[in-house]
Amino acid sequence: MIVGASAAGLSTAEALRRQGYQDPITILGAEADPPYDRPPLSKQYLRGDWDADRTRLRPDSMLDALGANFILGDPAISLDVDRRLVRSAAGRELAADAIVIATGLRPRALPDQAGLAGVHVLRTLADAAALRADLSNAPKVVVVGNGVLGVELAATARQLGCAVTLTGRQAAPMESQFGPMVAGLVAQLHTTEGVELHSGTAVTGLTPADGRVTGVQLAGGDHLPAEVVIVAIGSEPVTDWLAGSGLRLDDGVVCDSRCRAADGIYAAGDVARWYHDGQRALLRLENRTNATEQAACVAANIVGESHSYVPVPYFWSDQFVTKIQVHGIQTADAEVTVVEGNPADHRFIAHYRRDDRVIAVLGWNMPKQIRLHKQQYLT
């Protein structure tokens, strides 16, 4: 029984079958759409390069071959841990020998955005479709939030011909992901492409007129006029349906090193906060690769193995024609050195070091080379 029909949920089912699991599998998903991939939503789909069908994780033929019972458009509302029983909004009661929690994330909203036309978040295909429609006549756009998603959305909106302002609390775009040196280069990239930056600023509210957003009010008193506002201020794990279940919920479903939240209950993907034996800490990763890798570990543990999950985290970000890839876990106090290429040529590799050890490697338009650095320094 897998709760969540996105990348982590579907990957768990596929990994179970690959590992010879022959018992029935049920996949319960909150969204009605067949499983689709989220990274293209902020890029290829939003730009109009891909239609919705191209974002699908698997074609019908492969979903059929999986031999799983898909129940879509019916969110889980509670879990009985002792009986291993999930209740759904439509009134279903689904019991199983093993339950995998893969309910992902929900975007945070600004307090005053509810019901205001022209304000968007991006998590689902439906969100992306609504945003795509609203961007079609090249409106003036303000993106609130200068993390990974906000920065990518600013780039895509700009590519669609919109006038774009990117604002956020970080002193430079993606500074918490990349550190100040590389974040400065991200700022430069966006400025060169014509995105206006207001970094290191908090948003105090949205300004409305006749039920439609007219702009964003900044803490310093500035007002940024906008026809469309995209809110990308982070997400929260979807665990409200687990309140009262007895599972430990603390910024996600807390799991042991085997991704086990309780006997016979596992978590995978964005929602899982598990104990990383190598880092000796609880970790929760919001990235695409983790969904697949953690799902494979959970599947192995369900079929009777006992693997601790110790990945080298990996994420990438595509902005304009720049591809940035990071392996490892960088920290704010890491020392950053360019070891290959040159930022001035828009192609380089940087190492992040702490205590004289490489803890992360970053590639800027060097996808083949960064893999070699990962293999050499992080595995």
Partner 1 sequence: MKIIVDQDKCVASGQCVSSAPDVFDQREDDGIVVLLNDNPPAGLADDVRQAAALCPALVITIVE
Does 47 bind partner 1 (CB under 8 A)? Our answer is no
Question: What is the sign, positive or negative, of the torsion defined by CA atoms of 14, 16, 19, 20?
Answer: negative
Q: Which of 45, 241, 309, 314 binds partner 1 (CB under 8 A)?
A: 314
Residues 153-192 that bind partner 1 (CB under 8 A): none
Phi, psi of 10 (to 5 degrees): -65, -40
> Within 10 A of 184 (CB to CB), how many other CB atoms are there?
16
In DSSP terms, 265 is beta-bridged to 99, 262
Pairwise CA distance, residues 120 & 213, whole Å: 10
Q: Which tokens in the block code for residue 41?
A: 């939503």
Q: What is the distance, to the nearest Å, from the Cα of residue 187 to the centroid of all Cα atoms in its chain?
A: 21
Q: Which of 6, 29, 37, 166 binds partner 1 (CB under 8 A)?
A: 37
Q: Which of 199, 207, 292, 308 binds partner 1 (CB under 8 A)?
A: 292
Q: What is the distance, to the nearest Å, from the Cα of residue 212 to the centroid of all Cα atoms in its chain?
A: 28
Does 136 bind partner 1 (CB under 8 A)? Our answer is no
Does 296 bind partner 1 (CB under 8 A)? Our answer is yes
Pairwise CA distance, residues 244 & 142, whole Å: 39
Does 19 bind partner 1 (CB under 8 A)? Our answer is no
What are the CA-CA distances from residue 232 to residues 95, 134, 146, 148 (Å)? 36, 16, 8, 9
Does 349 bind partner 1 (CB under 8 A)? Our answer is no
Does 25 bind partner 1 (CB under 8 A)? Our answer is no
Q: Which of 2, 5, 8, 15 binds partner 1 (CB under 8 A)?
A: 15
Does 351 bind partner 1 (CB under 8 A)? Our answer is no
Does 289 bind partner 1 (CB under 8 A)? Our answer is yes
Which lies closer to partner 1 via its Cβ, residue 62 or residue 202? 62
Q: Which of 115, 210, 356, 368 binds partner 1 (CB under 8 A)?
A: 368
Pairwise CA distance, residues 177 & 183, whole Å: 8
Q: Which stretch binds partner 1 (CB under 8 A): 158-166, 254-262, 285-293, 332-340?
A: 285-293
Q: Which of 103, 85, 14 is nearest to 298 (CA)?
A: 14
Pairwise CA distance, residues 77 & 86, whole Å: 8
Does 102 bind partner 1 (CB under 8 A)? Our answer is no
> Within 10 A of 174 (CB to CB), how many other CB atoms are there?
23
Minimal distance, residue 373 CB to partner 1, in Å: 11
DSSP 286-337: -SHHHHHHHHHHHHHHHTT---------EEEEEETTEEEEEEE---TT-EEE
Q: Which of 323, 346, 353, 354 binds partner 1 (CB under 8 A)?
A: 323
- If DSSP codes are grouped into helix, strand and coil, which group holds residue 163? strand
Does 270 bind partner 1 (CB under 8 A)? Our answer is no
What are the CA-CA distances from residue 94 to residues 3, 8, 85, 87, 290 (Å)? 10, 19, 5, 6, 27
In DSSP terms, 349 is beta-bridged to 340, 363
Residues 51-70 that bind partner 1 (CB under 8 A): 54, 57-58
Q: Which stretch binds partner 1 (CB under 8 A): 77-85, 106-114, 192-200, 288-296?
A: 288-296
Which lies closer to partner 1 via its Cβ, residue 307 or residue 323? 323
Which lies closer to partner 1 via its Cβ, residue 73 or residue 311? 311
Does 11 bind partner 1 (CB under 8 A)? Our answer is yes
Q: Which of 39, 75, 139, 205 binds partner 1 (CB under 8 A)?
A: 39
Does 17 bind partner 1 (CB under 8 A)? Our answer is no
Q: Which of 276, 297, 268 is nearest to 104 (CA)?
A: 268
Residues forming contacts to partner 1 in the complex (CB under 8 A) are: 11, 14-15, 18, 37, 39, 54, 57-58, 288-289, 292-293, 296, 314, 316, 318, 323, 325, 366-368, 370-371, 375
